[in-house]
Structure 1
Amino acid sequence: MYLHYSAISDVGRVRRENQDSGYAGPWLLTVCDGVGGAVRGDLASSTAVQALRKLDQEPDDDILGQVAGAVHRADDRIAELVEEDPALNGTSTTATVALFDGTRFGVGHIGDSRAYLYRGGELRQLTHDHTFVQSLIDEGRITEEQSRTHPHRNLILKALDGIRHEEPDLFEVPAEPGDRIFICSDGACGTLSHDRMAEILGTGTPDFAAVELVRASLEAGSTDNVTCIVADVSEEAPSEDLAPLLVGAAADLPRRLPLGGAVGGLFRGHRSGDTGEIPPVPDDVPEGAYVADPIDPEAARYAPRDPGRFSWLRRLLLAAVLLGVAWIVLAAGWSWSQQQFYVAEDDGKVTIYRGIDARLPGLSLSHPYEVTDVELDRLSDIDAEAVREGIEADDLEDARLTVDNYAARQDVS
């Protein structure tokens, strides 16, 4: 079987930069959504896609091994970028990869970009988001619908950042003629409902569906970049002019949008066959200015912040504080233990101990305080065994009273 595919990425109505990247070819479909705001999420996503696109050739039998290896290489490449330029520390990207071998898809996934399968009129989500809100959904604390407006909906828990080296989810999906695969960034799936996506995917060619999914996402109010890849599984080979498609940041799209002009439309067609263009959103802004992001949730989405100067000093101070707290706790515990007393045996005699009747490896928590002249050999077997096991006391006076009681019962003959 073969893939007939289309890929579109649009910067959207609000953002100045497209931090999404995508690639569609005869063997490979992938979307990467860069995160990190000012620390170049566009560079992370484009770097990952450039590494992943090397998968676009007929795979061998170990399809998941190839996917995993490519994801790890993309992560390593991001690590190299950060090492070369520490200012990039904090950049990261999601990655959703589908490698096709003619009969099945090998899927790799990390982050909150998604892959769907549309088969027989039904849409099924293949991937599982690595996000905070998804964990709340899994625990039954919120619904899928509530997650779309949750204040922390942008927080993802796993991504490719060259630091944590997270393992991707890996699984296979058998392919059937007529299947339609949809891979997108959260600019689409975070806005469109499941039913709306299914409605669009049930119509037209891959090119038409991709256009409609992007347009519907923006019309529904998406404030993010939107990237959509749609591919049909067919027993017919595609036309020879269907070349691989590289979209988004990986295709080196313009980073800024001058006001007063339309956003460059990426659509290759619409219902009437025209080229789609999205009007600029701001109205009362000085001419020649650039579109500015609002308070940008991307800045707090996943990537750790650059620790900046004196990070080693902050870590040292934190360690000192923790050691100080631990010392105070230990000192308080030791002081309390030295106010405790119990009665036990020491060298065959009834003895008052100070501390608690316990031991830690290499450390005794008590010591003999008063050794009496009451000998265990002169006590009854029951009394002697009780002393050997240790007898608790409320305080020193109570311990002495216990000793006096045993002294009165000892055999003096």
Structure 2
Amino acid sequence: MEIAKRTDVGRVREINEDSLGLEQLRSGHSLAIVADGMGGHLAGDVASQTVVKMIMEGLLEQKLNTSTDKKSNYLLQAIGTANDAVFAMSQKKEEFKGMGTTAVAAIVDTEDIVLGHVGDSRAYLLHNGGLYQLTEDHSYVNLLKKHGQITEEEAKNHPQRNMIVRAVGSSEEVEVDLVHTPWKDEDILLLCTDGLTTMVEDREIGIILSSTTLNMEEKADHLIQLALDAGGTDNISLILLKNKKRSATS
């Protein structure tokens, strides 16, 4: 598997509240996590760092050569444990009150992708030149769109477009979306925070990921630069994983 990861504070924020986790295991699996923290001064980055660390530790304890259902349960358990930890921290320290984080975590091998998802960080799959969003934003504007109250264009400029309705650590219980999809040789999985997707259209992301002249590191750099060129109003983070099934089995 070919991989790349990037995070950038952007052009406006002083602190980077995004956190990333990426591990390639001897079993042939890869673990990838992107989290976008929220809260008061420093609380957001504490939340995202804690969640990435705990999810990664929880998954590394498991035997991943198993069924999709078991991998989904591992994600549920790891995210639930991380939620408990961050919520407990927020109750003990005044400066951490109300903190939380998005999370999109993936267990990946050459056959399948299993995702656990909370918030508005996203997962995309590039397959046969088409870019497909695998996750659904847990955001206020997405709820308005689903109920036909605003259009896609209105959502882009909505004053509450950054408001999420689900987060890890913001309450005692967390509801996690689970996604499973097969993927093929040369497909690319993108995990990213909304610092990329609010700045760069899906079409532009698809063009970069489809490029046959850029390697994975260059694709990651180009995506970050596009977000910065568009204003970079938020932290920008991403992980790319490319399925190299043929080379892995040859």
Alignment-derived partner of residue 353 in structure 1: none
Structure 2 residue aligned with 1:217, among 227, 232, 242?
A: 227
- Larger RCO, structure (CA 8 Å, separation 6 or more): 2
CA spacing shift, 1:58–1:10, aligned 2, 3 Å: farther
Measure the CA separation in 2 of the matches of 1:222 and 1:87. Answer: 27
Q: TM-score, normalised by structure 1?
A: 0.55
Residue 163 of structure 1 pairs with residue 171 of structure 2? yes
Q: TM-score, normalised by structure 2?
A: 0.89
Alignment-derived partner of residue 307 in structure 1: none
Q: Deviations over 1:366-398 (max 9, x none)?
A: xxxxxxxxxxxxxxxxxxxxxxxxxxxxxxxxx
1:41 offset after TM fit, Å? 0.3
* Amino acid of the structure 2 residue aligned with 1:226: I
**Partner SS, residue 243 of structure 2:** strand
**Partner SS, residue 41 of structure 2:** helix
Residue 116 of structure 1 pairs with residue 124 of structure 2? yes
Structure 2 residue aligned with 1:65, among 69, 73, 87?
A: 73
Pairing of 1:138-153 with structure 2 (within 5 A):
138-153=146-161
How large is the Cα RMSD of the aligned pairs?
1.7
Residue 36 of structure 1 pairs with residue 39 of structure 2? yes
Alignment-derived partner of residue 87 in structure 1: 95
1:14 offset after TM fit, Å? 1.0
Pairing of 1:104-253 with structure 2 (within 5 A):
104-203=112-211, 204-235=214-245, 236-237=247-248
**Partner SS, residue 25 of structure 1:** strand
Report how many aligned residue pairs link the two structures: 236
Measure the CA separation in 1 of the matches of 2:17 and 2:138. Answer: 19
Q: Deviations over 1:333-352 (max 9, x none)?
A: xxxxxxxxxxxxxxxxxxxx
1:126 offset after TM fit, Å? 0.4
1:162 offset after TM fit, Å? 4.9
Which ranges of structure 2 fall in alignment gaps of 5 or more residues? 25-29
Measure the CA separation in 1 of the matches of 2:170 and 2:151. Answer: 32
Decide whether the 8 Å contact of 1:95 with 1:110 is kept in 2: yes
**Partner SS, residue 108 of structure 1:** strand
Q: Percent identity?
A: 34
Where does structure 1 differ by over 3 angstroms across 4 or more consecutive aligned residues? Answer: none
Measure the CA separation in 2 of the matches of 1:218 and 1:37. Answer: 24
Alignment-derived partner of residue 13 in structure 1: 11
* Amino acid of the structure 1 residue aligned with 2:232: S
Measure the CA separation in 2 of the matches of 1:168 and 1:195. Answer: 27
1:183 offset after TM fit, Å? 0.7
**Partner SS, residue 132 of structure 2:** strand
* Amino acid of the structure 2 residue aligned with 1:143: T
Decide whether the 8 Å contact of 1:187 with 1:226 is kept in 2: yes
Alignment-derived partner of residue 48 in structure 2: 45
Which ranges of structure 1 fall in alignment gaps of 5 or more residues? 239-413
1:58 offset after TM fit, Å? 5.3
